[in-house]
């Protein structure tokens, strides 16, 4: 049985970490290496990590200064010895079948990345937002070109599934030349590059991962220019154009994000960024009728 490295970036997550880790320990697929990287937490996260590591020899821990989630993921990757990589955020959890489902469909279809959907849990309300039912289930294999054409404008949070690092199983070698940047929404700059490096991407339209919405989630506290970075789409546009991809959907994504960024930058007083975004939007209006 091949080994899977599960990487958990941890920062001030004392309230949720144990549930997260125990959901990994409870996986049907048991040949796991669980790597928890403490990104300079100031609460009891480090203590909880070490207590959990005493219970199960599969858990590895590392404590470092606070440098951000992108660098924390990179540290986890540098420690990983598995054949495959799986991420989980420290305030989320996964169903017992999550990793096994991903592994089985990936190996069955000889894919490089397997993706599954997710449910949302609202921490404040104590309720779930479930947008998939058993009747919605399907499996489909895509080439990178097909996935880039497919992922926008689909129901069931497909655009979110495209970006996030979790809810996926990756062949380890895909990360040989890929690092997460130390930027807000680091996955927005990264996940699509892993798709490009793949030959086959398999998607399962089922939700076996639970994404927790809470008051400290980046989508709740971050500004819109960080969450929906136009810069990230610009980079994607540039490389996909060089590769000869159809970029029409990426252009539409940039148009929308640039509008969000222009407004957010003005509101936060980033006048240089606001002027730059306003210029780009003006040029698009002039030349892209």
Boundary of a domain, candidates 215, 249, 270: 215
d(CA 166, CA 74): 14
Same domain, 200 and 282: no
Bridge partners, residue 116, by sequence: 204
Range of the domain at 229: 224-287
Total domains in the chain come to 2
Same domain, 68 and 211: yes
d(CA 2, CA 25): 16
CATH number at residue 133: 3.90.550.10
At 220, the pLDDT band (50, 70, 90 cuts) reads very low
Same domain, 146 and 260: no
What is the model's pLDDT at position 221? 42
Same domain, 279 and 173: no
Mean pLDDT, the chain, integer: 91
At 226, the pLDDT band (50, 70, 90 cuts) reads low
Chain centroid, CA 235 distance in Å: 18
CA distances from residue 112 to 87, 99, 107, 137, 174 in whole angstroms, order as listed: 15, 15, 9, 21, 8
Question: pLDDT at residue 271 above 50?
Answer: yes
Question: pLDDT at residue 218 above 90?
Answer: no
Report pLDDT digits (tens) over 147-196. 988 777 666 677 788 899 999 999 999 999 999 998 888 999 999 999 99
Boundary of a domain, candidates 215, 239, 261: 215
Boundary of a domain, candidates 215, 241, 270: 215
Give the pLDDT mean for 250-261: 86
Same domain, 183 and 119: yes
19-23, 24-28, 36-40, 122-126: the lowest-pLDDT one: 122-126
Question: pLDDT at residue 225 above 90?
Answer: no
Same domain, 228 and 211: no
105 or 132: which leads in pLDDT: 105
Please give the model's pTM, rounded to 2 decimal places.
0.92
Same domain, 42 and 98: yes
């Amino acid at each position: 049985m091949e080994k899977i490295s599960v990487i958990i970036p941890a920062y001030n997550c004392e309230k949720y970490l144990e549930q997260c880790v125990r959901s990994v320990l409870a996986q049907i697929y048991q040949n796991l290496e669980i790597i928890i990287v403490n990104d300079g937490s100031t609460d009891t996260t480090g203590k909880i990590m070490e207590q959990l590591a005493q219970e199960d020899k599969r858990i590895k821990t590392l404590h470092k200064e606070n440098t951000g989630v992108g660098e924390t993921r990179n540290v986890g990757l540098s420690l990983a010895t598995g054949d495959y990589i799986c991420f989980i955020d420290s305030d989320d959890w996964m169903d017992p079948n999550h990793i096994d489902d991903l592994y089985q469909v990936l190996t069955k279809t000889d894919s490089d990345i397997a993706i599954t959907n997710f449910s949302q849990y609202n921490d404040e309300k104590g309720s779930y937002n479930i947008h998939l039912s058993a009747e919605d289930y399907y499996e489909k294999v895509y080439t990178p070109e097909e996935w880039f054409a497919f992922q926008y404008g689909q129901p069931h949070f497909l655009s979110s599934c495209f970006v996030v690092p979790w809810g996926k199983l990756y062949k380890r070698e895909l990360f040989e030349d890929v690092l997460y940047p130390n930027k807000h929404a680091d996955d927005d700059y990264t996940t699509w590059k892993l798709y490009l490096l793949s030959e086959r991407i398999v998607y399962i339209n089922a939700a076996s991962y639970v994404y927790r919405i809470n008051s400290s989630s980046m989508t709740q506290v971050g500004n819109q220019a960080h969450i929906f970075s136009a810069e990230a789409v610009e980079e994607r546009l540039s490389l996909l154009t060089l590769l000869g991809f159809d970029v029409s959907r990426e252009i539409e994504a940039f148009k929308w994000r640039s509008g969000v960024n222009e407004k957010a930058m003005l509101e936060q007083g980033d006048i240089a960024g606001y002027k730059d975004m306003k210029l780009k939007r003006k040029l698009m209006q002039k030349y892209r009728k």
